[in-house]
Amino acid sequence: MPAYDLSDRLVVGVASSALFDLTESDAYFRAHGEAAYARYQDDNVDSPLDPGPAFPFIQRLLSLNDLRPGDPVVEVIILSRNDSSTGLRVMRSVEHHGLTVTRAFFTQGGAPLDYIPALDMSLFLTQNRDDVLTAVRAGYPAGHVRPTTAAYDESDRSLRIAFDFDAVLATDESERIFQAEGIDSFVANEVAKRDVAHAPGLLKPLVEDLNRIQRLEQERQAADPAYEPRLRIALVTARAAPAHERAVQSLRSWGVTVNDAFFLGGIEKARVLEVMRPHLFFDDQDGHLTGAVDHVAGVHVPYGVANEALTLTGELALARAADAVVTEP
């Protein structure tokens, strides 16, 4: 049998802690230790885990595989620090919830991050902040999924994904000018370089893969005018005119597109997110996600100058926890 080819697919890695609600399991592990935790999961193997913050995104993303029957456009792989035995509950929960996820890596306490580039993943989602910091420092497209109280209409099959621009889709080149010299210097730089594309950031390849899926939807709609495209991509940025133009020109230069673009110029992002209700919103600044927990699963991408202090904190935490066993990424 030929090897399963991951090319021409959007490959997403997700930690079981982001896919499912493992709050109770984690509390049990911390209170009783690893051996008791393993017995606890065995005793509850047929008790399905509740959906976690990334579940609505993953569920709807997998549904897009009907665009290419027999040749999935999306491959979701679970990356877990559990061993394969305690991971049985996770996989049975996957089956219970009807998710077409068949591939999982269980690494028994080890960080599974090296498998991100090995599997050509365009995204890795987890609730383990230190794993995200480590992955982002290595240049991997990872995000820390924040807890959320957002609820979505189960009858709505659409998938909405929103991105900040600086330090998410692009590098932090211009953000560094803003942090060091203020808004006037930032705007002057962007106007002077409006025809100079930004260097792509960590999540630009993710948008490329999403655009490829959108082209399949366009083909489906051309063949069946009754078909309504489900995937929608938005740009939600604090930029405003005239600094907006360089962002638009950068997207064009990279060959990627978005359906909606919001240049807010300092208006609180949560106001737009409450209306849009994206299933994931990626931002490099955690403060922009805090006010939106009722409306969206926020994903913090701790890249760039705004996160340098956080990265240092993460390094200290990692050093202190070097010998600790962690149940889930």
Q: Catalytic annotation on 46?
A: no
Which two structure tokens, joined as six digits, stand for 216? Answer: 């399949």
144 phi, psi to nearest 5 deg: -90, 110
DSSP 286-328: THHHHTTTTT--EEE---SGGGHHHHHHHHHHHHHTTT---S-
Residues in Cβ contact with 270 at an 8 Å cutoff, skipping those fewer than 6 apart:
288, 291, 292, 295
Helix (H) or strand (E) holding 154: none
Gap between the Cα atoms of 102 and 276, Å rounded = 31
3-class DSSP state of 58: helix
User: Would you say how long the chain is, in residues?
Assistant: 329
Catalytic residue selected from 130, 131, 164, 209: 164
* Number of other CB atoms surrounding residue 320 within 10 Å: 9
Parallel, antiparallel or unpaired: strands 280-283 and 298-300: parallel
Q: Are 282 and 258 in contact (CB under 8 A)?
A: no
Amino acid, single-letter form, for residue 314: G
Q: What is the CA radius of gyration of the chain?
A: 20
Burial of 313 (C-beta count, 10 Å sphere; 0-12/13-18/19+): middle
How large is the angle between the packed helices 183-192 and 244-254, nearest 10 degrees?
A: 40
User: Strand 142-145 vs strand 298-300: parallel, antiparallel, or unpaired?
Assistant: antiparallel
**Catalytic (active-site) positions:** 164
